[in-house]
Amino acid sequence: MPKVLIIDDEKDILESLSSILKDEGFHVMTAADGREGLSIYGKEKPQIVLLDVWMPEVDGLQVLKQILDMDKDAVVIVISGHGTISTAVEAVKLGAYDFLEKPLSIDKVLEVISRSLAGEGRMTGTVKDVRIEISKGLNIRTQKTIGKSIVVYGVGLHSGVKTGMILLPMPEDSGIVFEHIPDGERIPAYIDYVYSVGYASSVKGKNCIVRTIEHLLATCHMYGITNLLVKVSEEIPIFDGSAIEICKKIEEAGVVEQKEGVEPLKIQEKVSLSSLNDTQYLSIEPSDVFEVDYVLEHAKPIGTQRYHFAGDINDFVREIAPARTFGFIKDFERLAKMGLASGGRIDNVMMNVIILNDEGVVNTKLRFEDEFVRHKILDVIGDIYLLNRPVIGKIMAKHTGHIENIALVKELKRRFYESDLPR
């Protein structure tokens, strides 16, 4: 019978959560403040600690540090009624296993406890409200998640606000899911939840939006990560405008193969978008591998660039992931008037997106001569993963962006998976 220690100064939380967990078969101990909690932990060594952040005298983060000093492998789940992404990030950075927001969802509590016990106990409440079924077939690939929780800091491109996110492992068949902090709403990284496109891809639930998801999804796509929980506020950090920092964090966490499989979408017939203007083209056709052939036609100083990517994860990390977001000064000024892209200001030293005027790049040195077209491929790789499965086929693109990418994903879903995938 796993031991669970609840440390919270709210009597109602202690009583209600204790009662529920006892009914679920756990041996539950409670403490009304940090000092009492530390004393019980030292004597009982529970497998799980549910720890409130905001407590008098000794706050939760101090208690967390002391518990981890006693046992560096302790599983501490931090809870808070005043959750912000900064608090969540700080808690996980210090060593917390996860962060939950009050009012608590018992399904989420049980899910996190189950994950932390690596399958022990009862597995109830596994993202069932947003669960995406992953079909199995002859050409299945192994589902994957990350090896441990990781914290990532950054700035939002369109908000310009310092932010961060927490990436957590998830069980098979969960899919990639965003959890908004502090609201707690979960939104699948799936085409039916796409909210807005153009300058970035975003998803929306009933109440919350998560913006600029394409670089994270591109990284997950190429690493084969199918199950992941992403705790974030309103926007995924943009870092330097590329995906290379996300790749480094995934490498730090490690990629873990799981028991179940996922069936890729293997393109059997050519699919083309027919409603594009004369300067654009976007299609996907049969191929033995996933590949993208992109032609970018732009006025000077960019000009015409073409790049063909058909590599593995090592090629992606070397050739595509470092390519950064780019834009013209006049475009950033226009977006700023719309309340967007404030993170792309030249004077924002925390960013290094590529900014151009009519003469050339004004704020940095290019990593590749054709960095612009490589970045367009990065966006394609991320957007196509909104099908929630790997894709085997060759994408041919000319001067297209998120709007066209999303249109192609919707067409693929309509043709191949309308009857199989969730609505």
Q: How far apart are CA 87 and CA 256, in angstroms?
A: 27
Tell me the residue range of the domain where 365 lies. Answer: 265-417
- Residues above pLDDT 70, as percent of the chain: 85
pLDDT at 336 (0 to 100): 55
pLDDT at 59 (0 to 100): 83
Is residue 122's pLDDT more than 90? Answer: no
Tell me if 71 is assigned to some domain: yes
CB 396 within 8 A of CB 380: no
Whether residues 239 and 278 fall in one domain: no
pLDDT at 344 (0 to 100): 43
Asked about 158 being catalytic, the answer comes back as no
Tokens encoding 343:
């993170």
- Sheet of 27-31: strand order equals 27-31, 3-7, 48-52, 75-80, 98-101
Reading phi first (left if > 0) and then psi (alpha if -120 to 50, else beta), residue 227 is in beta
Q: Which of 45-59, 151-165, 388-402 has the highest mean pLDDT?
A: 388-402
> What are the Cα distances from residue 420, in Å, to 123, 191, 196, 262, 413?
25, 14, 24, 13, 9
- Sheet of 186-188: strand order equals 150-155, 162-169, 228-232, 176-180, 186-188
pLDDT at 85 (0 to 100): 77
Question: How many other CB atoms are there within 10 angstroms of residue 93's CB atom?
Answer: 14
What mean pLDDT comes out for the span 200-213? 91
pLDDT at 224 (0 to 100): 96
Between residues 112 and 255, the one the model is more confident about: 255
- What single-letter amino acid sits at 25? G
Residue that is last in its domain, among 262, 284, 306: 262
CB 280 within 8 A of CB 298: no
Q: How many residues does the chain have?
A: 423
Is residue 125's pLDDT more than 70? Answer: no
Report how many domains make up the chain. Answer: 3
Question: How many other CB atoms are there within 10 angstroms of residue 1's CB atom?
Answer: 9
Q: How far apart are CA 42 and CA 301, in angstroms?
A: 65
Tell me if 122 is assigned to some domain: no
Task: Choose the catalytic residue: 221, 375, 399, 402.
Answer: 402
Residue that is last in its domain, among 262, 288, 312: 262
**What does pLDDT average to over the chain?**
85
Whether residues 318 and 185 fall in one domain: no
pLDDT at 130 (0 to 100): 44
What mean pLDDT comes out for the span 277-306? 94
What mean pLDDT comes out for the span 178-196? 90
Is residue 34's pLDDT more than 50? Answer: yes
Is residue 222's pLDDT more than 90? Answer: yes
pLDDT at 391 (0 to 100): 94
Tell me if 130 is assigned to some domain: no
pLDDT at 127 (0 to 100): 42
Q: How far apart are CA 81 and CA 103, in angstroms?
A: 7
Specify the 3-state DSSP secondary structure of 384.
helix
CATH number at residue 310: 3.30.1700.10
pLDDT at 184 (0 to 100): 85
Whether residues 149 and 255 fall in one domain: yes
Tell me if 391 is assigned to some domain: yes
pLDDT at 3 (0 to 100): 94
pLDDT at 243 (0 to 100): 96
What mean pLDDT comes out for the span 209-228? 96
pLDDT at 123 (0 to 100): 32
pLDDT at 104 (0 to 100): 84
pLDDT at 149 (0 to 100): 87
pLDDT, tens digit (0-9, with 9 covering 90-100), for 56-102: 778 888 999 999 999 998 999 999 876 677 788 888 888 999 888 88
CB 179 within 8 A of CB 232: yes
Residue that is last in its domain, among 207, 234, 262: 262
pLDDT at 157 (0 to 100): 59
What mean pLDDT comes out for the span 290-315? 95
CB 67 within 8 A of CB 74: yes
Between residues 387 and 275, the one the model is more confident about: 387
Whether residues 220 and 277 fall in one domain: no
Lowest mean pLDDT among 24-28, 120-124, 379-383: 120-124
Is residue 274's pLDDT more than 50? Answer: yes
pLDDT, tens digit (0-9, with 9 covering 90-100), for 335-375: 555 554 444 443 443 355 888 888 999 888 999 999 999 99
Tell me if 126 is assigned to some domain: no
Whether residues 157 and 86 fall in one domain: no
pLDDT, tens digit (0-9, with 9 covering 90-100), for 227-260: 999 999 888 988 889 999 999 999 999 999 999 9
Tell me if 125 is assigned to some domain: no
CATH number at residue 244: 3.30.230.20
Is residue 136's pLDDT more than 80? Answer: no
Is residue 165's pLDDT more than 80? Answer: yes
